[in-house]
Amino acid sequence: MIFITSDLHGRMDALMKLLQHAQFFENEENWLYILGDVIDRNDNGGIDILKWLLFQPNAQLLLGNHEEMLLANRWLFQEINDDTIDAIDMQNIQMLTLWQTNGAECTIQALSKESPETRQDILEYLEECPLMESINVKGTEYVLVHSGLGNYAKDKPLDAYTSDELLWERPQPDTQYDPQAYTVIVGHTPTCLYGEEHRNRMIKTDSWWNIDTGAAMPNGRPMLLCLDTQTEFYLDEHDDVIAVTS
């Protein structure tokens, strides 16, 4: 079965609880997609999630804008010498400032404590993460992407979208993709920002779904979606798992 989550932002504990409740580990053929943003904001900044992903043959991380910011600041984790210091320019400082304003400090500290070999493994893993995946589950086509399809056009090929259009987009309630062709599943924008009635619950429109239930927000919690059964797994205020079938 295919499972999807997004925007964990360091919540390794929540991820494991959701996967265990969904019996993900009981079948090696189960597959997990994470729609980006496993890092920053909480706990050790998601470095434990990335280390876990390095050894998971049945899990795939899609790049999120937070992982993109980490890669843009990889110079932070290089050996410090005259050459690396001289190479720092204003663009480096601007990219670091952007990342820090988006909750990077816990990730920077945790990654700095890892061995050079582990840091390199993580960076190389992130470099290989795709921006998008197209999958078919029980005859339904899904496009998985971190934030949406920016500057959308019906006749625009999926491989023509830029990283900015895929990582920084925020679909509006009236955003319409092509429901006859596929359903787009995104994260990036916490669902509560669309209205209090959506807090801690996914949003489904006729052409796109949002599964970012706000782990980055105060008292926010991630969710897990099983596409085969359309079961939604949520954590309640006591961190107990609730399963809802729509």
pLDDT, tens only, 128-153: 999 999 999 999 999 999 999 999 99
On average, the pLDDT of the chain sits at 95
pLDDT at 81: 62
Write down the pLDDT at residue 246.
Answer: 76
Rounded distance, CA 112 to CA 98, Å?
A: 19
**pTM recorded for the entire structure:** 0.95
Q: What's the full length of the chain, in residues? A: 246
Domain boundaries, the chain: 2-245
What is the third-level CATH fold of 2-245? Purple Acid Phosphatase; chain A, domain 2 (3.60.21)
What pLDDT is recorded for position 110?
A: 97
